[in-house]
Structure 1
Amino acid sequence: MANYRRELGYLLPYLGPKRLQDIKPMDIRQALDRMAAQGLGTWARSKALTHLRAIFKEALALELVHRDPTAAIRLEGSTRARAGRTLEPGEATLLLRAFDSWPTWEVGMALRLCLAMELRVGEALGLRWEDVDLVEGTLIVRRAWTALGGKGILTEPKTPHSRRTLPLPKATLERLKARWEELVAKGARPRDLREAWLFPSPKDPGQPLNPHTLAHALRKMVARLGIPPLRVHDLRHSYGSLLLANGAPLELVSERLGHANPSITLNVYRHLLARERAAWVVDPEDLIHRPTAQA
């Protein structure tokens, strides 16, 4: 089907180059389980499954397949968008220090980018040095590095809006500049370095870190710090929550997160926005009698 690849979206890398007629219920279940292992929540998996159901519904109508393998698949929990755990300011401070002190610079900095730049795991690991402008202080998301069958594969960003240019926070930019200077001092040629992965695998520098590496490291960090369990995706969620709590417009937060549209951001952070709106209590007398500035 012409729309097969486009509509499957993020689920496609997990199913591989299978023909519609060859996809079995177990293939779908394993693909959804792999998405969950990558930190993708119920809502993301539900959306992917909805796309797949629509494809098989059309395929049945066109008599391209004789059965719908999605009929046997059920997702646990609610299919509504749910917010992850949000870090408390003290927890974020402890984690930022833990990132800096982690033995492997690549792991610590990748986790910092997930928290400080609202990146998805795959987006962070898919970065090359050429995607970082150390002069302008920006970072471009062009690709993602995700897990499939125990190995990593390069994919397009999750949506067209996920391909974006982001401003680098000052502290993060300083750390990236220091790392660049360190690598050049060790003999790396700038031209070659720009084509290198920002977070190369220690086993094979020609590939990024294993997609599961960050989750393993974060579990160790939170255990040592004595804070409640945390997913890597919760780092990204925490940044979005901090932006909204500090008055950032919903459209800006949606743009930074790479959401397809602000309605997705609203669904994820509706609970937070409800609390923020409840805090706005304005007496009409205050508005009417507020003194005006003198000319």
Structure 2
Amino acid sequence: MAGERRRRRANGEGTIYQRASDGLWVGMAYVHTTTGVTKRRPVYGHSFDEVREKLDRLKGDSARGIAVPDRALTVAGYLHHWLTQVAESKRATTHRGYESAVRLHIVPVLGTKRLDKLTGADVRRLIAVCRSKCLCCLNGYDKHREAADQCCSAGRCCSRTPSKRQIQFIHAVLRNALSSAEREELVTRNVAKLVQIPAPRYKVGKGLSVAQVKTLLVEAKKTRLYALYVVAATLGLRRGELLGLRWTDLDLDLDRATLTVEQTVQRVGGRLVVDEAKTEASEATIPLPKITRRVLLMHQERQAKERIDAGDVWHDHGLVFPTSVGTPIEPRSLNRHFDGIRTRAGLPGVRLHDFRHTVVTLLLELGTPPHVVRAIARHADLDVTLSIYAHTNLDAMREALDKIDWEAE
């Protein structure tokens, strides 16, 4: 054993010693762990040189920013790391959804569980708990109710359980987090993949008839946001895209006339956030129809007068559809504005998003090639475009079925 002795290691190089009990060599060094805390971690070997090599490799990884797995890491601890280090790069609205699923659903059930001990049975227990919990009780919705005897506040749980879509989302968040943990070699496999969640059935909006669109636009023309509804009805922009549209995104020259979608306005975590478009496919340049270009030019003149009237109160953000003082419009405020229009038009069941489905349906009925319609609607998949048309084109189906005539002469 005397031949195994080596020089005293300097500060920061770690400690190497031989255990008297079994003769095993042990190395100790301070390294960065996945919990964000610097801890003293051991390595073991049958010789000084073996331990020194392991120790140098451990310290080298730490110096390069590769965090060492913390064996005491809990699900809650790792999810905090994942939200702050990995999922932070997602869109603000996406990250907010992840954070809510982690905080409200996953951590209360699995938070204290050791990450490397997580099993498929634990994931199934999480899903079972989520399916049975009342969202009103969980989120304290009753605190905001005017009457104290409504819903759960009356002592009778309303059992407003999460929808199939919410359950699927909670499972997807955990699955994505564990996939990241698997890549970081913190777990040997992603146990969330062992649990299958039935996919929910999505309802596709029906879109509007030409007569309905015209009725809505007649009412919208009486408001300062008439141009916004014309853009929605002719190009099918999403709500956030309409509110995030800037004058620099428009080319109103007669020979070019284009609109580029680059950003959206969303409310996330109690504040308005200007974010990038929903998907990469959503960022696109679209030709402007002549009617849309004309209305936007008139809207530009009207906004110039509003800016003058507002004076020092005007806060210019370069937006096409701001408030009367230039600031971004609250997404829910736009919903309320549209609610007034649809009520006056006698179409209480219509949604703002139905304009988007209407554009898809009308273009396909006019014989526009599906791939062109997909490009205009900026759908990520052609199947989405065709599913909207298949759901809405009842007249075409009726015409086809009416050709069947088995009546005896």
C-alpha distance in structure 1 between counterparts of 2:165 and 2:352, whole Å: 15
CA contact (8 A) 1:137 1:173 kept: yes
1:128 corresponds in structure 2 to: 246
Q: CA deviation at 1:267?
A: 3.0
Letter in 2 for 1:201: T
Helix, strand or coil at the partner of 1:139: strand
From the superposition, tell whether residues 56 and 182 of structure 1 become closer, same or farther in structure 2 (CA, over 3 Å).
closer
Q: CA deviation at 1:113?
A: 1.6
Task: Tell me whether 1:91 sits opposite 2:184 in the alignment.
Answer: no
Q: 2:289 aligns with which of 169, 181, 184?
A: 169
Deviations 1:56-91 (A, max 9, x none): 342565557xx999xxxx99xx72343213212211
Q: 1:198 aligns with which of 317, 320, 324?
A: 320
Sequence identity (%): 24
TM-score, normalized by length of structure 2? Answer: 0.52
From the superposition, tell whether residues 187 and 86 of structure 1 become closer, same or farther in structure 2 (CA, over 3 Å).
closer
Q: How many residues align?
A: 257
Letter in 2 for 1:210: E
C-alpha distance in structure 2 between counterparts of 1:142 and 1:86, whole Å: 25
Q: Which consecutive aligned stretches of 4+ in structure 1 deviate over 6 angstroms post-superposition? A: 26-30, 42-47, 185-188
Output aligned runs, 1:66-81, within 5 Å: 79-81=200-202
Q: CA deviation at 1:210?
A: 0.9
Q: Which runs of 5+ in 2 are unaligned?
A: 1-81, 108-129, 140-162, 309-314, 402-409
C-alpha distance in structure 1 between counterparts of 2:164 and 2:207, whole Å: 17
C-alpha distance in structure 2 between counterparts of 1:186 and 1:96, whole Å: 22
1:4 corresponds in structure 2 to: 87
Q: CA deviation at 1:185?
A: 6.6
Helix, strand or coil at the partner of 1:154: strand
CA contact (8 A) 1:151 1:210 kept: no
C-alpha distance in structure 1 between counterparts of 2:304 and 2:342, whole Å: 33
Output aligned runs, 1:112-261, within 5 Å: 112-135=230-253, 136-184=256-304, 196-202=318-324, 205=326, 207-261=327-381
Q: Pick 1 or 2: higher relative contact order, CA cutoff 8 A, min separation 6.
A: 1
Q: 2:389 aligns with which of 269, 272, 277?
A: 269
From the superposition, tell whether residues 81 and 251 of structure 1 become closer, same or farther in structure 2 (CA, over 3 Å).
farther
Letter in 2 for 1:162: S
Q: Which runs of 5+ in 1 are unaligned?
A: 34-41, 282-295
CA contact (8 A) 2:91 2:275 kept: no
CA contact (8 A) 1:244 1:273 kept: no
Letter in 2 for 1:97: V
Q: CA deviation at 1:232?
A: 1.0
Q: CA deviation at 1:225?
A: 1.6
CA contact (8 A) 1:85 1:230 kept: no
Helix, strand or coil at the partner of 1:101: coil
C-alpha distance in structure 1 between counterparts of 2:304 and 2:337, whole Å: 27
CA contact (8 A) 1:259 1:265 kept: yes
C-alpha distance in structure 1 between counterparts of 2:257 and 2:275, whole Å: 25
Letter in 1 for 2:319: W
CA contact (8 A) 2:267 2:331 kept: yes
C-alpha distance in structure 1 between counterparts of 2:316 and 2:250, whole Å: 9
Letter in 2 for 1:84: G
CA contact (8 A) 2:263 2:275 kept: yes
Task: Tell me whether 1:110 sits opposite 2:232 in the alignment.
Answer: no
Q: 1:101 aligns with which of 204, 222, 227?
A: 222
1:15 corresponds in structure 2 to: 97
Helix, strand or coil at the partner of 1:263: helix
C-alpha distance in structure 1 between counterparts of 2:167 and 2:378, whole Å: 19
Range moving further from structure 2, 137-146 or 51-60: 51-60
Q: Which has the larger radius of gyration?
A: 2
C-alpha distance in structure 2 between counterparts of 1:13 and 1:267, whole Å: 28
2:40 corresponds in structure 1 to: none
Output the aligned Cα RMSD: 4.4
Letter in 2 for 1:93: K
CA contact (8 A) 1:130 1:194 kept: no
